A = this chain, B = another copy of it.
Amino acid sequence: MKRMDNPIYKVVIVGASGFTGSELARLLVHHPAVEIMMITSETHTGKPFSDLHPQFYGILDMELVSASAVENSKPDIIFLALPHGISMDFVAKWEPLGAKIIDLSGDFRLSSPEVYENWYEKNHSYPQGFKNAIYGLPELNADQIKDANLVANPGCYPTASILALSPLFARNKIQKGSVVIDAKSGLTGAGIKANATTHFSNVNENFKAYSIGSHRHTVEIEEQLSTLSQNKVTLQFTPHLLPIDRGILVTAYASVTEEMNQEKLDKIYHEFYQDKQFIRLRKSPPGVKDVRGSHFCDICPVWDARTQRVIVVSVIDNLLKGAASQAVHNMNLMLGLSESTGLSQIPLKP
């Protein structure tokens, strides 16, 4: 129920067909400070949203419109739930509209068009956009996000990876070159497109690594941790595909630069995250189902005295903290709302 005594902001979701679009809709339908004024789709223009996502039947049956309708609609917030390489054109076109834009693609996450072109292997059509884009990880960049007009919503793996290691990098306690991030993601990370990778029989009862040494999220993680530690970070990142719908679990390994023990490690994490309400520091390793359907990131740092190494496990719901709820969190900051507005979902388990 909307509270009519508050201003209601008008939001547009561009790109209705994917998982990110439907999760944004799920969160925004019940968000007390916004109204979904428009959801766009070029392929499905004219169909009810619930035709594409039948879970919304009777809840959100609004007709999908072409993205061209956005231009005359004066939205307050535009969410771009589009593939990378497509988003950039809309940012270029719509920046003058004055709406705040939250881009869920990878188009403005990196530091420069050159880095983008190197890792995404395609030209960037709107290099000017990098100037204003803020990396939308609220736990690190809340102040900048509040003033931003263009937020680049982080990737799912980077969210889990950066949050796992930030307390140590922020204090410069990581040995150069020592970091290995072994990451595992549910299948929705591969998107809604039907292909061999997403065929049930290739995923179910299976598990595999992919993009060893070459995944695009590697550089996104490295850049953010470099900024945080004011040192160039190079690290190992290996993604794997889990036979589940949702969830990312990151197991991060690092050697440290000073004497360490469990107590000291815990203190570093508690201090860093003390006022971050969506970070839950856990004493035993969390499972991905502990955060499913929620905006939480659960983190468990462990000191292994035998090997003199830190192991950090972090889990998120890749569609939420790794995408849609992070976008809403960013929106809350950009609109000056309380950070947690509309984000109080308790994990759905089992």
A245 lies within 8 A of B311 (CB): no
Docked complex Cα distance between A350 and B23 (Å): 9
Q: Mark A285-324, 1 if CB is under 8 A from B, else 0.
A: 1111111111000100010101101010100000000000
Q: Mark A216-243, 1 if CB is under 8 A from B, else 0.
A: 0000000000000000001110101011
Q: Which of B57, B192, B195, B205 contacts A245 (CB 8 A)?
A: B205
Q: Given A187-B200, A203-B200, A306-B213, are A53 and B349 neighbors across the interface (CB < 8 Å)?
A: yes
B199 lies within 8 A of A199 (CB): yes
Q: Which of B19, B282, B287 contacts A350 (CB 8 A)?
A: B19
A207 lies within 8 A of B247 (CB): yes
Docked complex Cα distance between A14 and B252 (Å): 40
Residues of A138-192 contacting chain B, CB below 8 A: 177, 180, 182, 184, 187-188, 192
Interfacial chain B residues near A293, Cβ < 8 Å:
293, 348
Q: Report if A87 contacts B (CB, 8 A).
A: no
B54 lies within 8 A of A286 (CB): yes
A298 lies within 8 A of B57 (CB): yes
Q: Given A54-B290, A208-B287, are A201 and B346 neighbors across the interface (CB < 8 Å)?
A: no
Q: Report if A69 contacts B (CB, 8 A).
A: no
Docked complex Cα distance between A182 and B292 (Å): 23
A286, chain B: closest CB distance, angstroms = 7
Q: Could you show 29 A-B contacts with beta carbons less than 8 Å apart?
A: A54-B282, A55-B292, A55-B347, A55-B349, A59-B346, A180-B180, A180-B253, A182-B251, A192-B199, A194-B196, A198-B201, A200-B203, A205-B244, A205-B288, A206-B247, A206-B289, A207-B287, A208-B286, A208-B313, A209-B249, A213-B306, A234-B307, A235-B307, A240-B249, A243-B243, A245-B350, A246-B350, A292-B348, A293-B348
Sample of 5 further A-B pairs with CB below 8 A, known A201-B245, A207-B288, A236-B309: A206-B289, A207-B249, A210-B285, A213-B311, A243-B243
